[in-house]
Structure 1
Amino acid sequence: MGLDDRKLEVLRAIVEDYVATQEPVGSKALVERHALGVSSATVRNDMAVLEEEGYIRQPHTSAGRVPTDRGYRLFVDRLSRVKPLSPAERRAIERFLVGAVDLDDVVHRAVRLLAQLTRQVAVVQYPSLTRSSVRHLELVPVSTTRLLLVMITDTGRVEQRVVELPGPVEIDEITELRRTLNATLVGVKLVDTPPLVQGLVERAEPQGKATMSTLVSVLLETLVERHEERLALAGTSNLARMGPLDLTTGALRPILEALEEEVILLKLFDEVKSGAARVRIGDENEVVDLRATSVVSTGYGPGATVVGGMGIVGPTRMDYPGTIATVRAVARYVGEMLGH
C-alpha cells in the first residue's frame, strides 16, 4: 500500500471533514482544523500522493478533494475509530423497543429507529421461516367443522390458517390432535418438518384419518412450504439528502427502484453474521443500481443464532463509525428481545 502514518492521518481528516461538511476539503482547511503538525505545502504533497493512489479525487474544478470508494474502504478497514453509543442513545434504543407487543411491532419499531438514528434508508428482514423452528401449534375451534390452526415459531412469527374439516369434530378429538401435533413438531426446524407431518396421517387412528389428512395438507401447503421472506423498509425520503457528488454513477431513480425489489433487498443480507457489521461501499455492491451507495448490514437473533438481517442503505459519504455502532446496537437489542 505504501502509505505512511501521516498520509493515513490526512486521509482520515479528509473523510471526517467531508462527511461533516459535505464540501470538498482543501489543504488549508485541513491544517486549520486538524493538529497534523505539518505545513499546508506538506499536506498538499500528501494529498497529491493520495490522489495518485486513487484514495481521493478532485470533483469538477473545485480546489478541494473528496474521498473515493477506495478511500472510504481504507478508512473503514484501518482508520475509523469505534464510536461507542452514549448512555442516552442506548437508553433511547431500549425504551423505543421495549414497549413492542409482538414480532410485527418489534420489526416496525426497529426499522423506524434505525432510519431515525442513522438518517439513512433502513431495512429489516423478518425472522426467516427457513431458519425458524416450531415453538407451539394451537388448534382453536371456530365451529364443529372448522378450526383455526395457529403456528408460533421460536423467532416469534405467527402464521394462522382456517381449516375446513370433512365432518364435525368433538373437543376431545381437537385436544388429542393438538397434543399429537406439538409432540411431533415442537423444536423441529420448519425445513425438516415435511416428512414428520406426512407421517402423522399414517399413524392416525382409522376414525381420525380424514381429519388428520385435512390438517396435514393445510400444514404442508400453507405453513411448511410457504417460505416467502418479508421485509420492512423506512426512511426512503432520507435519500434526498444524497448530494450530486455522491451520485457520480447515476441518478436517484434506479436506487429507489432497486429498493422496491424484495429480491434485491434480501441480497443485502447474504452471509450476515451476528455481532459483526458488513460494509459494502459503492462498486463493492453486487446490485448495479446500488453502486452509488454504501450498505451497512448485520445479522440478528437470540444469542449467536442468526434468524434475519438488518441494515441501512445510504450515500458513500456517511458517518461509518456511528452508523456501524448504531446498526450493531439495534440488532443486539432485537436479538435479546427475541431470546426472551
Structure 2
Amino acid sequence: MANTDERRFEVLRAIVADYVSNQEPVGSKTIVERHNLGVSSATVRNDMAALEEEGYIAQPHTSAGRIPTDKGYRLFVDRLSEIKPLSPAERRAIISFLDSGTDLDDVLRRSVRLLAQLTRQVAVVQYPMLTNAAVRHLEVVPLTPARLMLVLITDSGRVDQRTVDLGDVVTEEGVLRLRTVLNGALAGRRLAEAAARVAELPEAAPADLRDSLTRICTVLVESLVDHPEERLVLGGTANLTRNVADFPGSLRQVLEALEEQVVVLKLLAAARNPGAVTVRIGEENEDEQMRSTSVVSIGYGADDMILGGMGIVGPTRMDYPGTIAAVRAVANYVGQILSAR
C-alpha cells in the first residue's frame, strides 16, 4: 500500500463489501483470506482498531467481527472512484422497457418497477414539477357552439384539461382564431411567464374575441398557476421486509414515513442536477424516521433542466456502487424519453 491511510481504507472497503454481501460482522482473518491486501492478520487487526477508534467501524457484540458505521459508509461512498457501468445488454433492456411506455404515467410506473427490480430496494419517482415546465401546446376543442375544452400540454408530458362556458356561440373560424392567438402567446413559455401573458391577452384582442378570450384566460390562469402537490410513484416497498434485521425496531417507522409524500419529497429535494447522484446515509437524513436508511437520489431531465427527482430508499447496508449505477442509468433514459415526446 502507498501509506497507512490507504491501507486502512482498503480494510474498510473489504469490511463494507463483505458485510453488504453476507450481513455478518467481519473479522481480520476473513479479510486476509478473502482480500489480497498483502499484509498479515495482525496488521489488519491494528488497522481495524484504528478504524474503530475513528468511528468508521463498530463491534455489534462480543464477537471479533466489525461492521461499518454511517461514517464508514460515507467515507466508502465518497471514495468511490469508479461506478461499475451497466452492461450493453442491461442498457438495451432498460431503454426498451421504458420506451414501450404509452404515456407519462406509464413511463413513470415502469421506471419505478425497473428501479425496484434492479436495486431490490424501494424506488421513488416524482412526477415532473410544474414549476419547471413550459407550455408545448394548447388545444382548443369545441364541445358545443358555446362551450370549449382547453387541453394544456407541457414539455414535461403533463396534460391538464379545463372546460369554458363562453356565454355566446363561437364559429369554427372563431375557434381557429382563438387557438392561434392563445398558442402564439403561450407556446414555449414557462408556466409562470405564460400566466402573465394570458392575463394581458384580452386587452389586446380584437373586439369580437375579447369576451371569449376573457373567459378563457380566467380559466387558463388557474391552470397555469395552480400547482397541486407534486405526485409520486412508489414501488418495491416489500423489498424492505426481506431484511428486517437491517431496521432493528424501526421498519414500521420507515414504512409509515414512506406513506407521507412530504417526507419523500424532502428526500428527493437534494436532486438538483441531472446526472449528479446524492447519497444520504443514516443520520444524514433529516427525518428521524428515516435514519436507519440510505437514500440514493438524482434529478432527471434534459438540456440541463430538471423535470423531477427519482431515487431509492433502502438500508444503510446496501450495494452503493450498483445502486448508484442503476439510479443514474434509469434517470438518464427517463429524461431522454420524456424530452423526445
Aligned-partner SS, 1:182: helix
* Residue of structure 1 in register with 2:329 after alignment: 329
CA distance in 2, matches of 1:336, 1:42: 50
Aligned-partner SS, 2:294: strand
After superposition, what is the alpha-carbon deviation per residue over 1:98-154, rounded to whole angstroms, capped at 9, x for unaligned? 111211111111111111100111111111110000010001111222211101111
Question: Which consecutive residues of structure 1, in runs of 5 or more, have no partner in the other structure?
Answer: none
Please state if 1:7 is matched with 2:8.
yes
Please state if 1:96 is matched with 2:90.
no
Q: Is the 8 A contact 1:281 1:294 kept in 2?
A: yes
Aligned-partner SS, 1:193: helix
Please state if 1:251 is matched with 2:269.
no
Q: Which moved more, 1:200-209 or 1:36-45?
A: 200-209
Please state if 1:42 is matched with 2:39.
no
* Residue of structure 1 in register with 2:24 after alignment: 23
Q: Report the residue type matching 1:338 in the other structure.
A: L
* Residue of structure 1 in register with 2:234 after alignment: 233
Once the two structures are superposed, the pairs formed by residues 102-113 of structure 1 within 5 Å of their partners are 102-113=103-114
CA distance in 2, matches of 1:204, 1:16: 68
Aligned-partner SS, 1:301: strand
Q: Is the 8 A contact 2:132 2:305 kept in 1?
A: no
CA distance in 2, matches of 1:210, 1:84: 59
* Residue of structure 2 in register with 1:260 after alignment: 259
* Residue of structure 2 in register with 1:182 after alignment: 183
Identity across matched positions, percent:
62
Deviation at 1:62, TM superposition (A): 3.1
After superposition, what is the alpha-carbon deviation per residue over 1:277-314, rounded to whole angstroms, capped at 9, x for unaligned? 01010111122211110000111112322111111111
Alignment CA distance shift 1:80-1:255 (3 Å): farther
TM-score (norm 1): 0.95
Alignment CA distance shift 1:3-1:286 (3 Å): farther
CA distance in 2, matches of 1:153, 1:106: 16
CA distance in 1, matches of 2:314, 2:81: 18
* Residue of structure 1 in register with 2:203 after alignment: 202
Please state if 1:274 is matched with 2:313.
no
Aligned-partner SS, 2:305: coil
Question: Which consecutive residues of structure 2, in runs of 5 or more, have no partner in the other structure?
Answer: none
CA distance in 2, matches of 1:79, 1:104: 34
* Residue of structure 2 in register with 1:141 after alignment: 142
Deviation at 1:337, TM superposition (A): 1.0
* Residue of structure 1 in register with 2:309 after alignment: 309
CA distance in 2, matches of 1:3, 1:111: 43
CA distance in 2, matches of 1:166, 1:158: 25
After superposition, what is the alpha-carbon deviation per residue over 1:243-282, rounded to whole angstroms, capped at 9, x for unaligned? 42x335x511111111111111111222421111010101
Q: Report the residue type matching 1:262 in the other structure.
A: Q
Aligned-partner SS, 1:4: helix
Alignment CA distance shift 1:80-1:253 (3 Å): farther
Alignment CA distance shift 1:55-1:243 (3 Å): farther
Q: Report the residue type matching 1:21 in the other structure.
A: N
Aligned-partner SS, 1:32: helix
Aligned-partner SS, 1:310: strand
Aligned-partner SS, 2:25: coil
* Residue of structure 2 in register with 1:65 after alignment: 66
Q: Report the residue type matching 2:56 in the other structure.
A: Y
Alignment CA distance shift 1:79-1:213 (3 Å): closer
* Residue of structure 2 in register with 1:298 after alignment: 298
* Residue of structure 1 in register with 2:171 after alignment: 170
Aligned residue-pair number: 337
Deviation at 1:227, TM superposition (A): 4.3
Q: Which moved more, 1:92-101 or 1:179-188?
A: 92-101
Deviation at 1:242, TM superposition (A): 3.3
